[in-house]
Structure 1
Amino acid sequence: MRLGMITLDTLDPTPVATWWAGVLGGSLSDAGGTGEFVVLSGAIPGINLGFAKVPDPTPGKSLMHLDLDLEAGEDREALFASVLAAGATHQAHHEYPGIQWDVFEDPFGTVFCIGDAHD
């Protein structure tokens, strides 16, 4: 068994998926052609991101979020600037000995983190 997809609930999957495709790359497909479930593939090797239309997303902080790791040699400030320019908002910065990460929110309210690579 392997993780094949991480699915995010949203009121309108297409614009959310399009935003993430703009940030991460990859390609979008509309499963079923109804706009109710959009899949982003090729952005994260071996894992698809799904965006599911729901009538009422769970209020408050989601119990699941994306942790995006910086790659070796990647410029933290340049990456943050590009994510912010794409419409994300910065929520917080955290540091513990040996690791740091920043919390962001996409334009649709989805929380995600960008941090040092996990070993």
Structure 2
Amino acid sequence: MNLTAVMITVDCAEPQELARWWATALGGQIAQDHGDFVIVKAEPVALGFQRVAEARRGKNRVHVDFAAAPGTSLTVEVARLVALGASVVGEHSVPGLTWTVLQDPAGNEFCVH
């Protein structure tokens, strides 16, 4: 393979605000702030937040899945994210995997399992 993933970029109205939220949620830090584009470095992923004029419509076409840290239950991690300002969209389960779909404060969906 010739490609390496370096960052996932999220279109949003307020990149600094959303970047701060994700930096806190992921235990990362804002690495670069270019006004309309902000980068958060966190392990194992970097997230970019890019200002766009139009509002998001409908369900995300791409979303990020996160795993709760070893030794941390899904319930505890979801409660922590909700306390930070996320909202729960739904809970799902298939044999061997249970996950929760959440939205960040800007309405972008992500999953935690």
Quote the residue 1:89 is aligned against.
Answer: 87
Q: TM (normalized to structure 1)?
A: 0.86
Give the Cα separation in 1 of the matches to 2:83 and 2:95: 29
- Unmatched 5+ stretches in structure 1: none
1:44 Cα offset (Å): 2.1
1:78 Cα offset (Å): 1.7
Q: Among 80, 95, 99, which residue is 2:78 paired with?
A: 80
Cα deviation 1:35-75 (Å, max 9, x = unaligned): 2000001x123x31000000114411111111011233222
Q: TM (normalized to structure 2)?
A: 0.91
RMSD: 1.2
2:78–2:100: 8 Å Cα contact kept in structure 1?
Answer: no
**Number of residue equivalences:** 110
Matched AA of 2:33: D
Cα deviation 1:89-110 (Å, max 9, x = unaligned): 1110000011110000111111
1:88 Cα offset (Å): 0.7
Instruction: Write out the 4+ residue segments of structure 1 that deviate beyond 4 Å after TM superposition.
Output: none
**Percentage of identical aligned residues:** 37
- Unmatched 5+ stretches in structure 2: none
